[in-house]
Amino acid sequence: MKLPNCTSDVTEEELQHVYTSLNQVPIKSVSQLFKVLSDETRVKIAHALTIQEELCVCDVAAITDTSVASASHHLRTLKKYGLAKIRKGGKNVYYSLDDHHVRDLIKVAIEHQEELEE
What are the residues whose beta carbons fall under 8 Å from the beta carbon of 84, sequence distance 6 or more? 45, 46, 49, 75, 78, 95, 96, 97, 98, 102
Low-confidence ranges of the chain (pLDDT < 70): none
Q: What is the pLDDT of residue 100?
A: 96
**Phi/psi at 63 (nearest 5 deg)?**
-80, -20
Q: What is the pLDDT of residue 109?
A: 96
Q: What is the pLDDT of residue 2?
A: 74
**Phi/psi at 71 (nearest 5 deg)?**
-60, -45
Which helix (H) or strand (E) covers residue 45, if one does?
A: helix 40-51
How many of the other CB atoms lie within 10 Å of CB of 78? Answer: 24
How many of the other CB atoms lie within 10 Å of CB of 24? Answer: 7
